[in-house]
């Protein structure tokens, strides 16, 4: 294992009706809050009304900004920053999934600083101060409810970039599995795909002697797949929803990356897909990650053999180790198809291959020339992975 630091101060409040506690939690940080959310589902379900009542009962003045979309937009972040500054708001509360939470984090990063918040994503500056953030999670998968990262899309430049800062971890996150009952099957599946990808970005590493964390990664991946069908076909199965909600949180809170070099090449490659085609990030990863595995597994085949054997119960073929890896990949693809996730760029509606060159160039350019650590990929490699994914 490598030297490392695990730091995750997010207070997680888990279980039924826990959203009713939000007023007490926010009141610890001030008396003004920006309530940030997405479309109409939180309103229609009555969740926002329950949140408003709880905040009002704690004498908190509420300012609201809705309209967050999948692949959250920079323009709305700017609007939120302006609202917080002009009204002296000192706390941002996100009610929604990963896109809402990421947007809230960016607002919290931009508000107390004089910089253009986009400079943080361009890696030109870092935030000197960050407002405290709370979340009420409604769509598990992104893991943003207890991570230090965020991803924002700049529609003008067609860039989708990430920024991480330890200060961006939410101070509390409320996780009530009942709030996920109404999540459509497709978005439930995309969240599960996203969470598995978060684990694999950490699992596929060149770092040696990581057995304990390896087995934790394998257990969480198996748990996600074991509960996926029940959550999708029986959306009000509380136990399945609870298992998935917790697994998605653990997948991206830093614990499963402890003591190891992480990769994140597949995420960078997928960001170009969702930036251009505005697809769900988890769905994009279900098309990109299998192609990445095909392209890089020979760099360190033993790690992929271990993945195939421990996660998918593939028997080791001593005469043909590649067969073992390919069987693992086949079962991974079979799982993705079983939850109706796309497994190719064509499945995502990408019909013009000419765009692959543009995406590969932008991906390399936006990431300093290369992506990944398990396998360091140049523009030509990225283009080859897009071709495999097509």
Looking up residue 132, the CATH number of its domain turns out to be 3.40.50.1970
Q: Could you give the CA distance from residue 198 to residue 160 in angstroms, rounded to a whole number? A: 17
- CA torsion through residues 144, 184, 270, 328, sign: positive
Residue reference for tokens 């002009």: 86
Query: What is the bridge-based pairing of β-strands 149-154 and 133-139?
Result: unpaired
Q: Could you give the CA distance from residue 296 to residue 325 in angstroms, rounded to a whole number? A: 11
Task: Look at residue 5 and tell me if it is in a domain.
Answer: no
- CA torsion through residues 354, 355, 358, 360, sign: negative
C-alpha radius of gyration, the chain, whole number: 20
Residues 101 and 219 in one domain: no
Residues 199 and 270 in one domain: yes
Task: Look at residue 290 and tell me if it is in a domain.
Answer: yes
**Residue 40 — pLDDT band, cuts 50, 70, 90?**
confident
Residue reference for tokens 């529609």: 155
Q: What angle do CA 276, 278, 280 make, to 5 degrees?
A: 130
Residues 147 and 95 in one domain: yes
Q: Could you give the CA distance from residue 93 to residue 80 in angstroms, rounded to a whole number? A: 12
Q: Could you give the CA distance from residue 33 to residue 43 in angstroms, rounded to a whole number? A: 18
For 161-186, the pLDDT digits (tens) are 999 999 999 999 999 999 999 999 99
Residues 195 and 314 in one domain: yes
Q: Does residue 216 sit in helix, strand or coil?
A: helix
Residues 69 and 194 in one domain: no
Residues 230 and 361 in one domain: yes
Task: Compute the half-sphere exposure of residue 104: CA atoms within 13 Å on the CB side of its CA.
Answer: 37
Domain C-terminal end among 180, 206, 229: 180
Task: Look at residue 1 and tell me if it is in a domain.
Answer: no
Task: Look at residue 307 and tell me if it is in a domain.
Answer: yes
Q: Which pLDDT score, from 0 to 100, does residue 105 have?
A: 98
Residues 160 and 264 in one domain: no
Q: Which pLDDT score, from 0 to 100, does residue 39 have?
A: 81
Note whether 147 and 252 are within 8 A (CB). Answer: yes
Q: What is the mean pLDDT of residues 246-264?
A: 98
Query: Which residues have C-beta within 8 Å of that of residue 243, sequence separation ≥ 6?
Result: 223, 226, 227
Number of domains in the chain: 2
Task: Look at residue 3 and tell me if it is in a domain.
Answer: no
Domain C-terminal end among 135, 154, 180: 180
C-alpha 8, offset from chain centre: 16
Q: Which pLDDT score, from 0 to 100, does residue 41 have?
A: 86
Query: What is the bridge-based pairing of β-strands 159-164 and 149-154?
Result: antiparallel
Q: By C-alpha distance, which of 111, 147, 105 is closest to 129?
A: 111
Tokens of 294: 């095909």
Query: Which residues have C-beta within 8 Å of that of residue 353, sequence separation ≥ 6?
Result: 387, 390
Percent of the chain with pLDDT over 70: 100
Q: Which pLDDT score, from 0 to 100, does residue 115 have?
A: 95
Beta-bridge mates of residue 151: 162
Mean pLDDT for all residues in the chain: 97
For 203-237, the pLDDT digits (tens) are 999 999 999 999 999 999 999 999 999 999 999 99
Q: Could you give the CA distance from residue 257 to residue 304 in angstroms, rounded to a whole number? A: 17
Task: Look at residue 289 and tell me if it is in a domain.
Answer: yes
Q: By C-alpha distance, which of 201, 196, 192, 327 is closest to 269?
A: 201
Residues 347 and 310 in one domain: yes
Task: Look at residue 38 and tell me if it is in a domain.
Answer: yes
Residues 176 and 199 in one domain: no
For 329-352, the pLDDT digits (tens) are 999 999 999 999 999 999 999 988
Q: Which domain holds residue 291?
A: 185-389
Given a cut of 90, is residue 264 above it in pLDDT? yes
pTM over 0.85: yes
Domain C-terminal end among 180, 205, 231: 180
Residues 229 and 130 in one domain: no
- CATH number for the domain including 229? 1.20.1090.10
Note whether 60 and 90 are within 8 A (CB). Answer: no
Q: What is the DSSP letter of 10?
A: P
**Residue 99 — pLDDT band, cuts 50, 70, 90?**
very high
Given a cut of 90, is residue 124 above it in pLDDT? yes
Residues 54 and 123 in one domain: yes
Residues 46 and 78 in one domain: yes
For 284-340, the pLDDT digits (tens) are 999 999 999 999 999 999 999 999 999 999 999 999 999 999 999 999 999 999 999
Tell me which long-range contacts 118-121 makes (C-beta under 8 A, separation of at least 24): 118/74, 118/152, 118/154, 120/163, 120/165, 121/152, 121/154, 121/159, 121/161, 121/162, 121/163
Q: What is the DSSP letter of 331?
A: H
Task: Look at residue 4 and tell me if it is in a domain.
Answer: no
Scanning the chain, the segments in alpha helix (DSSP H) are 22-27, 41-44, 47-57, 74-87, 98-110, 118-121, 185-203, 211-233, 238-251, 265-277, 281-296, 301-312, 321-338, 354-366, 379-389
């Amino acid at each position: 294992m490598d030297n490392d630091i695990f730091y995750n101060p997010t207070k997680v409040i888990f279980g039924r009706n826990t959203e009713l506690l939000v007023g007490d939690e926010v009141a610890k940080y001030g008396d003004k809050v920006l309530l940030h959310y997405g479309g109409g589902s939180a309103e229609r379900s009555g969740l926002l009304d329950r949140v408003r009542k709880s905040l009002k009962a704690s004498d908190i003045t509420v300012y609201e900004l809705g309209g967050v979309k999948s692949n959250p937009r920079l323009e709305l972040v700017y609007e939120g920053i302006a609202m917080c500054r002009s009204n002296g708001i000192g706390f941002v509360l996100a009610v929604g999934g990963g896109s809402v939470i990421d947007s809230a984090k960016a607002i919290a990063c931009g508000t107390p600083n004089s910089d253009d918040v986009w400079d943080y994503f361009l890696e030109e500056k870092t935030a000197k101060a960050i407002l405290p953030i709370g979340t009420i999670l409604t769509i598990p998968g992104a893991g943003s409810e207890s991570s230090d990262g965020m991803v924002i899309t700049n529609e003008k430049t067609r860039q989708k970039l990430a920024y991480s800062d330890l200060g961006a971890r939410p101070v509390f996150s409320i996780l009530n599995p009942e709030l996920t009952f109404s999540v459509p099957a497709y978005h439930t599946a995309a969240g599960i795909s996203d969470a598995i990808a978060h684990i694999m970005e950490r699992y596929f590493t060149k770092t040696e002697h990581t057995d304990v964390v390896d087995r934790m990664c394998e257990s969480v991946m198996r748990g996600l797949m074991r509960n996926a069908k029940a959550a999708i076909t029986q959306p009000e199965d509380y136990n399945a929803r609870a298992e998935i909600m917790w697994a998605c949180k653990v997948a991206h809170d830093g614990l499963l990356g402890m003591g190891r070099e992480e990769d994140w090449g597949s995420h960078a490659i997928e960001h170009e897909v969702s930036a251009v085609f505005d697809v769900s990030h988890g769905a994009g990863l279900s098309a990109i990650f299998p192609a990445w595995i095909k392209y890089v597994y020979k760099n360190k085949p033993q790690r992929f053999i271990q993945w195939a054997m421990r996660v998918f119960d593939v028997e080791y073929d001593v005469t043909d180790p590649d067969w073992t890896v390919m069987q693992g990949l086949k079962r991974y693809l079979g799982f993705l198809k079983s939850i109706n996730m796309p497994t190719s760029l064509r499945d995502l509606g990408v019909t013009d291959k000419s765009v692959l060159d543009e995406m590969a160039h932008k991906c390399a350019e936006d990431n300093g020339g290369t992506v990944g650590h398990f396998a360091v990929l140049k523009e030509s490699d990225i283009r080859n992975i897009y071709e495999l994914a097509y």
